Amino acid sequence: GAVVSQHPSRVICKSGTSVKIECRSLDFQATTMFWYRQFPKQSLMLMATSNEGSKATYEQGVEKDKFLINHASLTLSTLTVTSAHPEDSSFYICSAERGAEAFFGQGTRLTVV
Amino acid sequence: AQSVAQPEDQVNVAEGNPLTVKCTYSVSGNPYLFWYVQYPNRGLQFLLKYITGDNLVKGSYGFEAEFNKSQTSFHLKKPSALVSDSALYFCAVRPGNTPLVFGKGTRLSVIA
């Protein structure tokens, strides 16, 4: 099956710094990728839709200046959490779609201290 | 509005017994339906999907699900549960050409 790789799997950063998370589709091209956030024991919350070569589409309530998304190529989307604060600590998951099927990255556990 | 309901937060089953994880949906039009499994601190793994065709769909690791249009359900089943099946299960629906909509998840615990 298709593979989506997400890096890093785990990151700890200081409050006020920025963190970049990468999502790569390894064996297919993805014009669209999705970024989700998952709180403990809760479902996935769609944050934004990343579109190759154009601006991301953010869901209501998600700050686009805080969660910067860049989809510069057909195999790579990045999510940068800017000026991170402890409340940004969460599990972030990306997905890329091929046809009607979505493939997910391994997730990134972000801890802001 | 499109939505997916997983009525059970937790399902407990003894190893070797059959298991069912429930899912109902509310969408307009013909939905694409999916089941995913998540292990701790991991992303989601695809189990199975219904797009069209036979209502009974067979997927990975011995799981299957039955699409029931009249009841708008897509329950996940397995004839004989394994301890290794213990995980968090998500039902998801794609209403047309839009992002997946996920249920809240059901935690399955298989007891030896």
Q: What is the tens place of the pLDDT at every residue in B40-63?
A: 878 889 899 998 889 999 998 999
% of chain B at pLDDT higher than 70: 100
Query: Quick check: A109 contacting B, CB < 8 Å?
Result: yes
Query: Quick check: B36 contacting A, CB < 8 Å?
Result: yes
Token readout for B109 is 């615990």
Q: Mean pLDDT in chain A?
A: 92
Task: Express each pLDDT in A1-37 by its tens digit.
Answer: 668 999 999 999 999 999 999 999 998 998 889 999 9
Higher pLDDT, B93 or A98: B93
Spatial CA neighbour of B92 closest among B12, B29, B26, B36: B36
- What A42-49 contacts at long range (C-beta under 8 Å, 24+ apart), as own/partner pairs, is A42/B104, A42/B105, A43/B90, A43/B102, A43/B103, A43/B104, A43/B105, A44/A93, A44/B44, A44/B90, A44/B102, A46/B99, A46/B100, A47/A79, A49/B99
Distance CA A50, CA A105 (A): 14
Spell out which residues of chain B touch residue A49, defining contact as CB-CB under 8 Å: 99
Which pLDDT score, from 0 to 100, does residue B95 have? 76
Chain A residue closest to B32 (CA)? Answer: A100
- Interface-testing mutation among A6, A21, A43, with chain B (most B C-beta atoms within 10 A): A43
Residue the block writes with tokens 């937790």: B10
At A60, the pLDDT band (50, 70, 90 cuts) reads very high
Higher pLDDT, A100 or B74: B74
Cβ atoms A47, A36 nearer than 8 A: yes
DSSP code string of A44-99 = EEEEEEEETTS--EEPTT--TTTEEEEEEETTEEEEEE-S--GGG-EEEEEEEEET
% of chain A at pLDDT higher than 70: 98
Question: Is the model's pLDDT at A99 over the cut of 80?
Answer: no
Question: Is the model's pLDDT at A92 over the cut of 90?
Answer: yes
Token readout for A94 is 């990306």
Which pLDDT score, from 0 to 100, does residue A107 have? 93
